[in-house]
């Protein structure tokens, strides 16, 4: 576990690990420069349970802190959990059993249930199970939930660990690079409760995450074709760099708008309606700015309308404009035909 100023949910996360049905493990926690009560909370657990090992350091950011965590552990299998999530009681037992039986698998994940800040479950997501299905899904999503994964330590280091340049999409990049050497899998069972709240990184940095994920996919294609990994030659992830990697404007726009829309819908399902509407408006603005890509605006509307149908609510006036826009786009397409 890596944590930075995570006092709000930290106790629940730590206790979910210590209560696992499989009890023979070392729990390495990297405190990445916390300035709140995180350090005191972790010190309590370390003093009362010898399995808890805390490493405190100056803030380096998530990817490098996770790399440090992997260097500190000695076990051949390493599970990850974010400091705002909750591991279900049999999570470690189930994943260790699977990895013991499937030696060709480098990473195994599992299904997740989505909860809000109060622990209320508002959804569940089941990922593709087999290596072939996971690889197909990489084209349009991240088919492994990062805090639900267990990784072979050898596979992690063979792949080179997390690449901070692609943060906060360093996870999909790692899965793709591990996938160059190993198979990937998910368990059908739910292994964690994944907490959704407006302050988390996925919400704050949805565009950067989308561009990082696109860069990871482009790099994976290059390696598969026997070419050098293009990410090794860049120092920044932005739209100009993505074009230099060979991404089209359509690919870039689609990746960003679809990711912002997904985050908006998920945040709305968690009950954070003001944040959801703000994100949907942002997604619509981005889609509208991409001239000629009318299907992106239609996609934003469809995702927004789906959320409101689920919740039995009427679309706000500002976003009802999306419906009219979609009708206009359809009419133009008919005229062109």
| Residue 36, pLDDT score | 96
Q: Which of 282, 327, 277, 284 is nearest to 307 (CA)?
A: 277
What is the Cα–Cα distance from 238 to 283, expressed in whole angstroms? 17
Cβ atoms of 92 and 23 within 8 Å: the answer is no
| Residue 180, pLDDT score | 96
Q: Which of 285, 280, 273 is nearest to 302 (CA)?
A: 280
Query: Do the bridges between strand 105-115 and strand 183-195 make them parallel or antiparallel, or are there none, so unpaired?
Result: parallel
Provide the pLDDT confidence category of residue 318 given band limits of 50, 70 and 90.
very low
- Residues 122-159: pLDDT tens digits? 889 999 999 999 999 998 889 999 999 999 999 999 99
DSSP string, 119-166: --EEEEE----SHHHHHHHTTTS--S-GGG-EEEHHHHHHHT---GGG
- For 319, counting Cβ atoms within 10 Å of its Cβ (0-12 exposed, 13-18 middle, 19+ buried), the class is middle
**Averaged over 66-88, what is the pLDDT?**
96
What is the Cα–Cα distance from 195 to 162, expressed in whole angstroms? 22
What are the residue ranges spanned by the domains of the chain? Answer: 2-203, 204-336
- Residues 10-48: pLDDT tens digits? 999 999 999 999 999 999 999 999 999 999 999 999 999
- For 218, counting Cβ atoms within 10 Å of its Cβ (0-12 exposed, 13-18 middle, 19+ buried), the class is middle
Share of the chain above pLDDT 70, in %: 89
- Residues 267-312: pLDDT tens digits? 888 888 888 888 888 888 878 776 555 778 888 888 888 888 877 7
What is the Cα–Cα distance from 186 to 134, expressed in whole angstroms? 8
The values of phi and psi at residue 193, to 5°, are: -100, 115
Cβ atoms of 114 and 263 within 8 Å: the answer is no
- The more confidently predicted of residues 50 and 317 is 50
Q: Which two tokens stand for residue 54?
A: 């805390």
Provide the pLDDT confidence category of residue 317 given band limits of 50, 70 and 90.
very low
What is the Cα–Cα distance from 232 to 46, expressed in whole angstroms? 39
Q: What is the CATH number of domain 2-203?
A: 3.90.550.10
Share of the chain above pLDDT 90, in %: 65
pTM: 0.86
| Residue 202, pLDDT score | 56
- Residues 179-227: pLDDT tens digits? 999 999 999 999 999 998 776 555 557 788 899 999 999 999 999 999 9
């Amino acid at each position: 576990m890596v944590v930075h100023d995570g006092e709000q949910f930290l106790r629940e996360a730590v206790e979910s690990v210590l209560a696992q049905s499989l009890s023979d493990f070392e729990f390495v926690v990297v405190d990445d420069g916390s300035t709140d009560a995180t350090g005191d909370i972790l010190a309590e657990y370390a003093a009362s349970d010898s399995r808890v090992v805390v490493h405190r350091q100056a803030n380096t950011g998530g990817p490098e802190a996770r790399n440090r965590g992997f260097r500190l552990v000695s076990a051949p299998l390493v599970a990850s959990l974010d400091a705002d999530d909750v591991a279900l009681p049999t999570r470690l037992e189930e994943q260790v059993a699977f990895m013991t039986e499937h030696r060709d698998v480098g990473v195994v994940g599992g299904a997740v249930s989505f909860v809000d800040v109060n622990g209320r479950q508002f959804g569940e997501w089941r990922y593709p199970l087999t290596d072939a299905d996971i690889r197909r899904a990489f084209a349009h999503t991240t088919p492994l939930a990062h805090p639900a994964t267990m990784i072979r330590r050898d596979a992690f280091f063979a792949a080179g660990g997390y690449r901070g340049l692609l943060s906060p999409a360093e996870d999909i990049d790692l899965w793709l690079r591990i996938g160059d050497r190993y198979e990937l899998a998910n368990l059908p069972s739910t292994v964690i409760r994944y907490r959704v709240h407006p302050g988390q990184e996925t919400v704050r940095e949805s565009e950067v995450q989308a561009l990082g994920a696109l860069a990871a996919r482009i790099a994976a294609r290059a390696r598969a074709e026997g070419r050098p990994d293009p990410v090794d030659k860049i120092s920044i992830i932005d739209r100009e760099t993505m074009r230099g990697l060979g991404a089209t404007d359509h690919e870039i726009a689609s990746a960003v708008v679809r990711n912002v829309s997904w985050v908006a819908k998920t945040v709305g399902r968690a009950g954070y309606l003001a944040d959801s509407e703000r994100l949907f408006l942002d997604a619509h603005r981005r889609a509208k700015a991409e001239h000629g890509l009318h299907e992106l605006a239609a996609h934003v509307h469809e995702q927004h309308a789906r959320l409101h149908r689920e919740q039995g609510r009427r679309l706000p006036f500002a976003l009802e404009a999306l419906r009219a826009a979609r009708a206009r786009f359809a009419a133009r397409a008919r005229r062109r035909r």
